[in-house]
Amino acid sequence: MKYQIRKKLIIFGAALFLFRCSSDQKKNSMIDTKNTTINKKVDSLLSKMTIEEKVGQMNQYNGFWDVTGPVPEEGNAKNKYEHLRKGWVGSMLNVRGTENVKAVQRIAVEETRLGIPLIIGFDVIHGYKTLSPIPLAEAASWDLKAIEKSSRVAAIEASASGINWTFAPMVDISRDVRWGRVMEGAGEDPYLGSKVAKARVKGFQGDDLSKNNTIAACAKHFAAYGFSEAGKEYNTVDIGTSTLHNMVLPPFKAAVDAGVKTLMNSFNELNGVPVTASKYLQRDILKDKWNFDGFVISDWASINEIIIWGHAENKKEAAKLAATAGSDMDMEGYVYVKELANLVKEGTIKEEIVDDAVRRILKVKFELGLFDDPYRYCDATNEKENIGTKEHHDAVLDVAKKSIVLLKNENNILPLKKKGQKIALIGPLADDKNSPLGSWRLGSDDNTAISLLEGMQNYKENTLVFEKGVDLFNGDVAFTQQVHVNTTDRSKISKAVAAAKNADVVIMTLGEHGFQSGEGRSRTEIDLPGLQQELLEAVYKVNKNIVLVLHNGRPLAIEWADENIPAIVEAWQLGSQSGNAIAEVLYGDYNPSGKLPMTFPRNIGQTPIYYNYKSTGRPNKEPHVFWSHYIDSENTPLYPFGHGLSYSSFEYTNFTVHGGNSFSVNDTVKVSVDLKNTGAIDGKEVVQLYIRDLVGSVTRPVRELKGFELVPLKAGESKTITFNLSKNELGFFNNDGDFIVEPGKFQVFIGGSSITKLEKSFELIKK
Ligand code: BGC
């Protein structure tokens, strides 16, 4: 009987497999046919275009607001409209709202000779109007479905507002907490970064780009922008090939494999070549080796910046270098529109280079369905009904809760009791409805986030008092401006101390404002800005029962707080629903499950600090000073990559490498572990798997993340978690950029953070 059932199951399984294969084949052949049809249409259109019209497709203009960089002299509205009418503009950014988009689209479609529609770009970085957590925070959820959903919501809202192309995801790996843009990426690790990149591309682009609620994604910034020297914005980058291939490029490759339609290059140079002019990156790797068939856009006027870097003498040379290198579209640089047609006419650049770029751009426009209906994203009813909906707020609340990381919780001070408590909420960010929106919120409205004060007010059976304690800034804050941190006005501290004295628990809400990280916002100090540390210590003198809620767009150095404050909650900038999400975690209505995607240093001097470092030749503590260390700080971080606590506790047992401990380089190594929720409440744990390849022809990091699973477990429940390590996980890129797997000894580690001690080993042998 059993046998028959099993047999039936096998037959059913085989039938399902064949069905899947044949439906996959069908899907693939449909994609092929679609591609061929589109390619034919592209070729036919291309054959009708003059060189000026072709170059026009490679030209993108900014709309008339929300500028993120200097505008060239030519950038006035009159010129732009004139160029638009001549068919010299292929794309616009920062035009939004169905009416505005319709207006520029109408000129492109109805007034130009060939009527080629514009592709409309916008920085939809973590939401459009309804904002999700900043991307670094979302990565802390390690919840790929929630991340995909959040990008989906962003795409639905942006597309309803006329936009069909987002300049996201940013997939730059960065190890430098000084760099302001770490808030925009997925942190320091290429494995997690690749998974997040894929989820975000899928969320934006969906299964069918031609739907009116999916938008083209753009993996940026290609490449190595996150390795800006000293974390200084727009700085030079000088990294070796091993770091380039093993750390920087994998998330871009993952985005390309996920079908991302565009990439953006970047402001940095790499080993002496501004990347906008890098043929090696854009043609040799991206377009040739990876077969990327979408297009590359420059960053804001980065073609111009080739001149300022000192790599081209003038615009003409910059245009030649960038186009030849494979930079297909010029963002607000006025270089291509001015120079490229002449360069072709005089024979300096082959027309094929322009044709290649234009083909790529037109193909994406066809895929978006813009030629079928250029106004498909301009439906005013859709705009009214699909932006800021309850469903979207629920989705961003969900991912916001999941993004919170419980860094410390001594004596179970958290979760808070729901009744009979006097709670003092103190800090400049506690009632701030603006800061949780982060610095990329161009489609949203200022001061629309739920503040922590509002979130806490939902719990009515406790007494809540609020005191600011200190102001973070003197004067206003804005997207494009420097902030002026308050370092002198202490007048509110005494009131906060008085409130703390009478409280059972103090919630201190401190950290960075949303406009203290992001583009153009590098810092040389990463402690609590302004007078916040002073405030914290003053409150601590009168009440030690403190929960510190951190808001920040980068890891901060909070060594004093870690030593003295019993509970610390990392709440980043969590978007529109911030305060509700934090309150739910503080009160235990959501059991925290986030894990850090980036190492927290003890002090700024340890930067860059990251978990996947190399051994060095002298890693071990010695009685003398001649080993790899600092004489005034520990080597270890304050909180390691992957760290995060829960109100549950988890036990790992039966860690097993299956099938012995010796495998061929072509084998898949199966490892498993049993995970038990030993706590009193249901919770989730991110089980992380790391490897170490002990000897490599290129030295390998001491640990590398190669698998993870977010596991929900009821109180007392156990589950076996299995990972399969194949070539993809066990190999690496050598210094020629080739992926190889080398025989030799490996260690494998499993646990709830990157410093887990659960370890096994195995060997790969040549067979
Ligand atoms: C940023 C890009 C962004 C572009 C357009 C630049 O300054 O580096 O990431 O997409 O502006 O706003």
How far apart, in whole angstroms, are the C-alpha atoms of residue 139 and residue 133? 9
Question: Ligand 1 centre from 181 Cα, in Å?
Answer: 11
Residues labelled as active-site residues: 299
Question: Ligand 1 centre from 583 Cα, in Å?
Answer: 33
Question: Ligand 1 centre from 169 Cα, in Å?
Answer: 12
Q: Residue 492 corresponds to which amino acid?
A: K
Tokens of 750: 């499993």
Q: Residue 310 corresponds to which amino acid?
A: G
CA of 69, closest atom in ligand 1 = 7
Sorted by sequence, the CB contacts under 8 Å of residue 707 that are 6+ apart come out as 688, 689, 723, 725, 729
Average pLDDT for consecutive 10-residue bins of the chain (767 residues)? 41 43 64 87 98 98 70 78 95 95 96 98 98 98 98 98 98 98 98 98 98 98 98 97 98 98 98 97 98 98 98 98 98 97 98 98 98 97 98 98 98 96 98 96 95 98 98 86 92 98 98 96 97 98 98 98 98 98 98 98 98 98 97 98 98 98 96 98 98 98 98 98 98 97 98 98 93
Question: Ligand 1 centre from 517 Cα, in Å?
Answer: 15
DSSP H/E element including 422: strand 422-426
Ligand 1, CB within 6 Å, residue ranges: 68-69, 93, 123, 167, 220, 299-300, 519
Please name which of 240, 241, 250, 244 lies closest in space to residue 290, comparing C-alpha atoms: 250
User: For residue 1, what pLDDT is reported?
Assistant: 38
Question: Ligand 1 centre from 580 Cα, in Å?
Answer: 30
Mutate to test the pocket of ligand 1, among 62, 66, 123 (most ligand atoms within 8 A of CB): 123
DSSP H/E element including 672: strand 669-677
Question: Ligand 1 centre from 222 Cα, in Å?
Answer: 12
Q: What is the pTM of this model?
A: 0.96
Mutate to test the pocket of ligand 1, among 65, 66, 167 (most ligand atoms within 8 A of CB): 167
Indicate the pairing of strand 295-297 with strand 262-265. parallel
How far apart, in whole angstroms, are the C-alpha atoms of residue 574 and residue 590? 15
What single string gives the DSSP state of each residue in 633-666? S-SS-SB-TT--B-SS-EEEEEEEESS-SEEETT
Reduced to 3 states, what is the DSSP secondary structure of residue 451?
coil
Question: Ligand 1 centre from 168 Cα, in Å?
Answer: 10
Q: Which amino acid residue places its CA nearest to atom 10 of ligand 1?
A: 167
User: For residue 7, what pLDDT is reported?
Assistant: 42
Q: Which amino acid residue places its CA nearest to atom 4 of ligand 1?
A: 300
Mutate to test the pocket of ligand 1, among 96, 234, 298, 300 (most ligand atoms within 8 A of CB): 300
Helices 302-309 + 315-325 axis angle, to 10 = 120
CA of 184, closest atom in ligand 1 = 9
User: For residue 241, what pLDDT is reported?
Assistant: 97
User: For residue 767, what pLDDT is reported?
Assistant: 74
Mutate to test the pocket of ligand 1, among 215, 299, 305 (most ligand atoms within 8 A of CB): 299
User: For residue 68, what pLDDT is reported?
Assistant: 61
Q: Which amino acid residue places its CA nearest to atom 8 of ligand 1?
A: 299
CA of 221, closest atom in ligand 1 = 9
User: For residue 64, what pLDDT is reported?
Assistant: 65
- Burial tier of 224 (Cβ tally within 10 Å: 0-12, 13-18, 19+): buried
Question: Ligand 1 centre from 221 Cα, in Å?
Answer: 9
Indicate the pairing of strand 405-409 with strand 330-331. unpaired
Q: What angle do CA 514, 446, 517 make, to 5 degrees?
A: 15
CA of 218, closest atom in ligand 1 = 10
Contact 604, 526 (CB under 8 A): yes
Q: Which amino acid residue places its CA nearest to atom 12 of ligand 1?
A: 68
